[in-house]
Amino acid sequence: MSSEAKKYVISCTVCQFTKPSQRKPAGFMIPICPQRPWEYTGVDFVGPLPRTSCGNAYILVFVDYFSKWVEVSAVREATAQVAASKLLSEVFARHGAPTYLISDRGSPFVSELFKNVLSALGSEHRLTTAYHPQTNATERVNRTLKTAIRAYIGNKHTAWDRYLPQICFALRTAPHESTGQSPSMLLYGRELDTPLDLITQPNSDGFGEPGIPYPESLTSSIQEAHDHARAVLDCSHAKRKHYYDRKRRSVSYCVNDLVRVRTHPRSDALASFTAKLAPLYTGPYRITQKLSDVNYGLTDVSTGEDAGVFHVVNLQPFRTWDSLLFLFTICTASQLFWNRVCIYIQLTFILFQATEFLFFLYYTFILCMYIYIYICLK
């Protein structure tokens, strides 16, 4: 009975929607392990930024998950037409069609135009789940880009697009922590020359091994770089997963389970609405698909409409309580208890009657004594 009472308490709908969870976030890390350049490609918009003299207000970023090479373009608007055009000119025309393209669920990337372009290129489009941008490696590049732009422009906030080529060159030639090599080495098999290289190494003739043609030497160099990058990436992924999983817990749901979804409201002063006082969760939703160990497809229980795909970190179980089952459990489990209560009541009544009879005898004896004393005094 105590367990059923506990279920009843934790099934309070108001409490489930308003109280925060005190447990570790759910979901272990599932690394994306590319094996060659431009197998996995991430794309994202940065902005809006202050509009420049050229009319640019956004940055479109493409990043290769294997080599960490970035393609960055300053654009005027964040639309599907711009994203599709830059995909063709900056990625496909230079590096070929990516096998997988990863993006968020922004309107430019879920439009029919963008889907048709990817279908024509033969690329598979993979969308990140809502409010879980960690899947897209472009998010980390965006932070690096904004940091570099902040260091370059100073107070000239409308001139940020002038420095993008220099920033991209720095990112492409700097050794990356995850691979141990620069993106240019993994993509071209050589480092990009700089003015300093021309001074310190004025003549590059004869650097290759004698007797080996340049194409074979280049192929060998790229192969060695890729093998080294794969080994370092595996170690890097294992290390990051180890530290990431220490602060997470394993959670798994089954199809037809009920869950509640974490909300991300925004304050609205005009409507006298503050996000700090809004419910933390909404629902209930029913799990209809288990897409992976951490991604689930949901439908709204009340309407039956598709609610989308969510990462397990944004889900919590929705508790329900069956009142009929509870009453049946009480009646069945406590029958012996109520029988004993009845016995105790009967015994108490009998003792009360016996005690009442004793009091009657006691008071009768006292009355007789008073009468005897009164007669004697007469």
pLDDT in tens, 91-147: 999 999 999 999 988 899 999 999 999 999 999 999 888 888 788 888 888 888 999
Query: What is the pLDDT, as a whole number, of residue 325?
Result: 39
The residues with which 163 forms a beta bridge, in sequence order, are none
Give me the phi and psi of 331, to 5 degrees please.
-65, -35
Q: Which residue has the higher pLDDT, 373 or 89?
A: 89
Query: What is the pLDDT, as a whole number, of residue 51?
Result: 93
Query: What is the pLDDT, as a whole number, of residue 363?
Result: 63
Distance of CA 161 to the CA centre of its chain: 32
Where is 285: in which H helix or E strand?
A: strand 281-290
Lowest mean pLDDT among 77-91, 203-217, 361-375: 203-217
Distance of CA 365 to the CA centre of its chain: 86
Q: How far apart are CA 1 and CA 372, in angstroms?
A: 63
pLDDT band at 322 (very low <50, low <70, confident <90, very high): low
Most confident of 14-18, 40-44, 263-267: 40-44
Structure tokens at 19: 């109280």
Contacts of 33 by beta carbon, 8 Å cutoff, 6+ apart: 233, 234, 237
Lowest mean pLDDT among 240-244, 333-337, 345-349: 333-337
Query: What is the pLDDT, as a whole number, of residue 361?
Result: 67
pLDDT tops 70 at residue 307: yes
The rounded percent of the chain whose pLDDT value lies above 70 is 80
Smallest Cα–Cα separation from 225: which of 176, 171, 181, 174? 181
Query: What is the pLDDT, as a whole number, of residue 63?
Result: 94
Q: How far apart are CA 256 and CA 332, in angstroms?
A: 29
Query: What is the pLDDT, as a whole number, of residue 188?
Result: 87
Q: Give the CA count within 13 Å in the CB-facing half-sphere of 325.
A: 8
Query: What is the pLDDT, as a whole number, of residue 92?
Result: 94
Q: How far apart are CA 94 and CA 107, in angstroms?
A: 26
pLDDT tops 50 at residue 346: yes
- Residue 374 buriedness (CB in 10 A; 0-12 / 13-18 / 19+): exposed
Q: Which residue has the higher pLDDT, 340 or 50?
A: 50
pLDDT tops 70 at residue 70: yes
* Rounded to 5°, angle at Cα 173 from 171 and 178: 70
Q: In what order do the strands lie in the sheet containing 281-290?
A: 306-311, 295-300, 281-290, 258-262, 315-317
pLDDT band at 214 (very low <50, low <70, confident <90, very high): low
pLDDT, tens digit, for every residue of 272-299? Answer: 888 888 889 988 999 999 988 899 999 9
pLDDT band at 334 (very low <50, low <70, confident <90, very high): very low
pLDDT band at 324 (very low <50, low <70, confident <90, very high): very low
pLDDT tops 70 at residue 328: no
Distance of CA 14 to the CA centre of its chain: 24
Query: What is the pLDDT, as a whole number, of residue 82?
Result: 95
Q: How far apart are CA 15 and CA 9, in angstroms?
A: 9
pLDDT band at 367 (very low <50, low <70, confident <90, very high): low
Q: Is residue 91 within 8 Å of 98, Cβ to Cβ?
A: yes
pTM, 2 dp = 0.74
Q: Is residue 290 within 8 Å of 255, Cβ to Cβ?
A: yes
Q: How far apart are CA 148 and CA 141, in angstroms?
A: 11
Lowest mean pLDDT among 4-8, 343-347, 356-360, 371-375: 343-347
Over the chain, what is the mean pLDDT? 82
Structure tokens at 115: 């889907």
Q: Is residue 25 within 8 Å of 225, Cβ to Cβ?
A: no
Q: How far apart are CA 57 and CA 324, in angstroms?
A: 61
Which alpha helices (DSSP H) does the chain contain, by range?
2-10, 13-18, 80-86, 93-95, 107-110, 112-121, 138-153, 164-173, 183-188, 195-200, 214-245, 323-333, 335-377
